[in-house]
Amino acid sequence: MGFGITPDQLNSIVALWRRSSDEIAGLDCEAGDLSLAGSRSAESLRACAAAVHDAAAALSRHLAGSAAALEKFNTTTVESDRACAADLAALRRPR
């Protein structure tokens, strides 16, 4: 019986989440030069751009944090599995 996912598969997920986090963090969410002073449309566009920037930054941080947590889980699980396997192997050796 297995967990259903290998350490290499988890490493691939971690890499994907990190790449996605970097790509999202690098998005250009600026509205550009909106020199129409007093324009409601320009102000609305600026507000939308700021909201998109904040949402993208939050998503990027979430993906980066999730990647770090999954990497820690994977490392801890692999180390624990090795230690348990060594303990079980030692029990099989004749004394």
Is the pLDDT at 1 greater than 60? The verdict is no
Determine the Cα–Cα distance for residues 40 and 49; give it in Å rounded to an integer: 14
Mean pLDDT of the chain: 89
38's CB contacts (< 8 A; 6+ apart) are: none
pLDDT digits (tens, 9 = 90+) for 62-74: 999 999 999 999 9
- Note the pLDDT of residue 2: 60
Single out the residue of 12, 14, 25 nearest to residue 67, CA to CA: 14
- Note the pLDDT of residue 59: 97
**pLDDT bracket for residue 35 (50, 70, 90):** confident
